[in-house]
A and B are shown apart, each in its own frame.
Chain A
Amino acid sequence: MSGDGATGIGAIARAVDDLFWRYTQALDEGPLTEWPECFAVDATYQVMPRGNLDRGLPLATMRCDSQAMMRDRVYALESANFFAARRIRHVLGSVRIEPAAPAHDADAEADSDPDAEADSEAAARWTVRASFSVFETLSREPTHILAVGEYRGVVVPSGEHTGGREPEGQHLPAEIGALVFDELVVVNDTDLVPNSLVYPL
């Protein structure tokens, strides 16, 4: 990846930062209904316990196979589930961004050589990784750590993946525009959940 121009790493980094901002704002400050809007229509989302990941077991604590399934979870949280009032707060570490292979080629994606893909305009997909911690504060209780782990995502330009709805990215280069997750695996190191994992991580 060379240069810091409109389509260089600097511009992409700004777009990824904007996406993480929208994502964590939706979960930490609301409205929760904005959380699915950070994803492509056919995106997948999983909260994956570290123990299952390490042992190659497929079970996720939360699993949404589409943006619609994410909306269902939001609707259940807002209308069906009972849980004590709480607030969560995300704190992210540095974000690593690398060009990703085109979609639906998982093997190539895992083996892709960043330098070889760097100048390919056709890809328009990037893998992103970032450490996170999420703090939880229940009403009239001290704050505790709810989860720590790593985001492993694939991001794409929002235009052709969101069914026409354009997220409001700020100060983003027109060549990239706003990004959305096409895939997000939340690796949760905190295998033993402190009671409940109510909101998505």
Chain B
Amino acid sequence: MAPTTPTGLAWGHTTDRVPYGIYTDRAIFEREIERIFEGPSWSYVALAAEVPEPGSFLTTWVGRRSVIVTRAKEGSVAVLENRCAHRGVQLCDAAFGRSNTLQCPYHQWTYALDGRLLGVPFRKGVAGKGGMPAEFNPTENGLRSLQVHERGGVIFASFADAANGLLPFADDLGPTMLEYFDRVFDGRELAVLGHMHQRIPANWKLVFENIKDPYHASVLHVFLVTFGLFRADAPSSTKMDPTGRHSVLVASRPAAPAPTDALANEVSSAKPGMTLADPRLLDPVREFPGDATVVMQTLWPNLIVQQQSNTLAMRQIVPRSAGEMDLHWTFFGYADDTSEMTERRLRQANLMGPSGLVSVDDSEVLALAQRGVEAAVDASALVAMGAGDVGDVDHIVTETAIRAFYRAYREVMGE
């Protein structure tokens, strides 16, 4: 008998089994919302460049909850739950905007951009009748304000605080993850190029794990393999923080321009003869120090930082139910990019998003993964590639980062 946990899931004796119930069970999903997304974790919410001026605001999500990211008069950023203190109305409907205050449409309760309650119509009643009780205290009825941390132009927020075990951001990431984060967010001003959004019929963890799985990239993504953007024979590594929650996949372009025959034989889908009719689609230039041309970072619980050649994007995970999630992509460059570099980034964006020449493979295959696991909740996945690997490794034929992720997941979930 395999050992089971409070939820009755069979995780097995080793770390190389993942029970399918975690992708399908509604109670587990609710516990993930409570312990992971609303627990002591830093969720990505926005780039600072998206709320550039005092009065700028946008709405986004932390876990399932809608939040408003605002920049107040003095320039500080606040992250507020998008729920009126009066009757719970999601008061801010716009995706982006500018305003000096936030007003609920239902009874016009008005809040400052830092969440303070400023006004309640007829609070003192009319002609001596009605109104709020004398003891009503506006300072106790503001919008719920989240912990906020900004680093390198990226804004994170948390419903938890230090008392609930929330670590300072730098400690949460640890030095190795921080080094890769700072590589892209090096202090230069960011320039937002635009957004893409997709609703993926798959559990959120399948999308998160996908970036912790270098094995699939060298097989599924024929486009990457064919054009040498990611190949099994290229120098690569997987690194993680001490807890295993966060990880990074690092790869360089292979020295040989085309896949070798040996590689082509192993990967049935490789297309050694394929060339581009318009090579401008892929004309990567080196822009970061070091040899790495691909750095894909997963930051617990909701962020994937994408650097593939010159296409940079934040991929934000918004869980909706056990079987469905939204993925929000924010593509960006730097304010000091040349127009030529901006054009290059916009062309390379063809690789990513819901129409991505690379990432469409993922959204499609993960929808099928969800269908497979929903029909077999008592079975489990095998993640045994590179079974001897513990921690960081210097090859891609491994599922070590997935195993590390689930070790951390079980600890947080009490599984």
Contacts and interface: CB of A to CB of B under 8 A. Distances in A.
Are chains A and B native binding partners rather than an unrelated pairing?
A: yes
B277 A52 contact: no
Interface in B183-197: 192-197
B298 interface: no
A69 B360 contact: no
Given A61-B353, A195-B364, A68 B278 contact: yes
Given A80-B222, A81-B360, A62 B355 contact: yes
* Max chain B Cβ within 10 angstroms of own Cβ: one of A60, A68, A194: A60
Interface string A38-73: 000000000101011001011111110110110111
Contact of A60 (B280, B346, B361): B346
A198 B196 CA distance: 14
A193 interface: yes
Given A59-B331, A63-B347, A83 B193 contact: no
A84 B368 contact: yes
Given A59-B349, A72-B281, A193-B199, A83 B360 contact: yes
B323 interface: no
A191 B197 contact: yes
A94 interface: no
Nearest to A51: B195
A63 B220 contact: no
Interface residues of B, number: 42
A81 B195 contact: no
Nearest to B225: A80
A21 interface: no
B367 interface: yes
A72 B223 CA distance: 11
A192 interface: yes
B321 interface: no
Given A57-B194, A60-B349, A79 B274 contact: yes
A197 interface: yes
A55 B50 CA distance: 11
A57 B195 contact: yes
* Max chain A Cβ within 10 angstroms of own Cβ: one of B198, B277, B365: B277
A61 B354 contact: yes
A51 B330 CA distance: 12
B264 interface: no
A120 interface: no
B209 interface: no
A170 interface: no
A62 B331 CA distance: 13
A59 B193 contact: yes
Interface in A175-201: 191-198
Contacts of A79: 222, 271, 274
A57 B192 contact: yes
Nearest to B280: A65
Nearest to A52: B194
Contacts of A193: 196-199, 354-355
A76 B196 contact: no
Interface string B215-253: 000001011001000000000000000000000000000
A21 to B, nearest CB: 24
Given A82-B361, A192-B198, A195-B364, 15 more contacts: A47-B355, A49-B194, A51-B95, A51-B195, A58-B346, A60-B346, A61-B196, A68-B278, A72-B276, A79-B274, A82-B222, A192-B197, A193-B354, A195-B200, A196-B354
Closest 7 CB pairs of A and B: A59-B194, A68-B277, A57-B194, A68-B278, A193-B354, A80-B222, A52-B194
24 contacts: A49-B197, A51-B195, A52-B194, A57-B194, A58-B346, A59-B193, A61-B355, A65-B280, A69-B280, A71-B277, A73-B357, A75-B274, A80-B226, A81-B357, A81-B360, A81-B361, A82-B365, A192-B326, A193-B355, A194-B198, A195-B198, A195-B367, A196-B354, A196-B363
